[in-house]
Amino acid sequence: MNVRRLIPTTALAGAVTLGLVTLSACGGSSGSAAADGGKLDVVASFYPMQYLAEQIGGDHVSVTTLTKPGVEPHDLELKPKQIGELGEADYILYLKGIQPAVDDAVAQAGVKNTVDAATLTTLEKHGTSAGHEPHDHGHEEGAHEEDGHEHAHEGEAGADPHVWLDPVKYAEVAKGVGASLEKADPDNAAAYRKNTDALVKKLTALDTKFETGLKNSTTRTFITTHAAFGYLAERYHLEQEGISGVDPEAEPSPARIKQLQDTAKKDKVTTVFFETLASDRTAKTLAEDTGLKTDVLDPLEGITDASRGDDYLQVMEANLAALQKALGAR
């Protein structure tokens, strides 16, 4: 454990004078990081987890992310150094099912305060569109249908992990993260609680904006390259039609393209959405073939200079504006 990060500078200087730094560095961290006057060393798997850790942790945490800006999270491969450093963290926040390399590394790290965000809300299965079951998942034991979608048990294969794109579910996860940080660092529990409440309030306001902003529209159907918006579509009574499945790099079949062309005509679809971190080739080809426009709908898996905003809330508001325009919301 890199204990030096948890020792205030003045104490460190005193320890150097006494020749005690080597002793303190051998012993791992015990109890609250804040008890040593330092910050809780938090490792987040990718941007949606990083955002929660930073917003809720505030000044009491030092957050690093395993997925650098511009890297497609699904494709992340960890360097041995990153895997080694993971075991030194005070607290790990990840979302099981998005990044296989991270899931494996977290399991090996054995850090006591490890939180899987997927356990903090209910995961569901979403196909390429609402009410369409994906070809590769099928109906699995342990799931049940309700209102045209399925609820999946924690960690079940085929569950859609993109919960952060639904502000209501993301708020549920935020509450769980806040409670777990209170437990990991009880000395700063009041601050974590206050920050959680503030974030949940912002997410509730965002939910209201989406609800009112998408209430009346010409069409309820949107086409996207990456079927990441199942929770968002379900929350606001929309129909997501994904060119590929939940994997942004999957190539669609000719039959799927034909199906999308028919749907676009029938449901008066105006726009094919692509994203910033994955190839837009298929979206642009489909749009050209069907005479549709293209625009960005950001699954918020990472923030880059190309993002329409500097953080989660700004990019989600840009997503809302793009959806309103594409759906003819008024």
Spell out the domains of the chain, with CATH numbers in brackets.
Answer: 1-30 (no CATH), 34-123+160-202 (3.40.50.1980), 214-327 (3.40.50.1980)
Task: Please list the ranges in the chain whose pLDDT falls under 70.
Answer: 1-37, 127-157, 245-250
Going through the chain in order, the beta strands assigned E by DSSP cover: 40-44, 61-65, 91-94, 114-116, 124-125, 144-146, 149-151, 221-224, 239-242, 271-274, 293-296
Strand 144-146 to 149-151 pairing = antiparallel
Angle between helices 167-184 and 189-213 (to 10 degrees): 180
What pLDDT sits at residue 111? 97
Chain segment 231-283, per-residue pLDDT in tens: 999 999 999 998 876 565 667 788 888 899 999 999 999 999 998 777 778 88
Determine the pLDDT at residue 207: 98
Residue 44, pLDDT score: 98
